[in-house]
Amino acid sequence: MTDFSLIIGDNEGAVRAALDRGDNLKTFLLVHALVESLLRVFLHAHEKDATFHQLIQRYESFLKERSPGVSTFVEELSRFNQRRNRIVHDLWRKGYTFTNRQANDAATTSVLMYGLFIEFLQTFDPELSNKGFEFDEGS
């Protein structure tokens, strides 16, 4: 398997820097890309045409096989993807400055969700941090 840990680490560092600068759009979109990467690695879903929505469905199936009735993060991931679509749409309709200001809460929440999601997935795959996913928003 290819080692993407340096790329993941660079992107996690870029998330921290963007959040510190107040670049909410970049923060949110980078976290979205990292969550997609996390899902692909965790689910071993390496086909290029798999959509974020399809990854969520595969993740939900994974959970149902192991813990029927448990849908931890499924709704949050769906809302996260819907928010990404709205943010991109607003970026084109309302411009960068307005959309960036409006995306403050989304950016902050996405960073927290990403860290929690990594921690949760590590309960199934303790090796995720060895694959590069070890985000700690405090560092």
pLDDT, mean over the chain: 90
Q: How far is CA 22 from CA 28, 51, 86, 99, in A?
A: 11, 28, 19, 12
Q: What is the pLDDT of residues 14-45, one digit of tens each?
A: 999 999 999 999 999 999 999 999 999 999 99
Where does residue 70 fall: left (phi above 0), alpha (psi -120 to 50 degrees), or beta otherwise?
Answer: beta
Distance CA 108, CA 113 (A): 9
Q: How far is CA 15 from CA 37, 63, 91, 96, in A?
A: 14, 28, 19, 18
Q: Say what the pTM is.
A: 0.91
> What three-state secondary structure class fits 78?
helix
Q: What is the pLDDT of residues 106-138, one digit of tens each?
A: 999 999 999 999 999 998 998 888 887 876 654
Distance CA 83, CA 89 (A): 10
Distance CA 139, CA 127 (A): 20
Q: Which tokens hold the place of 107?
A: 């950016």
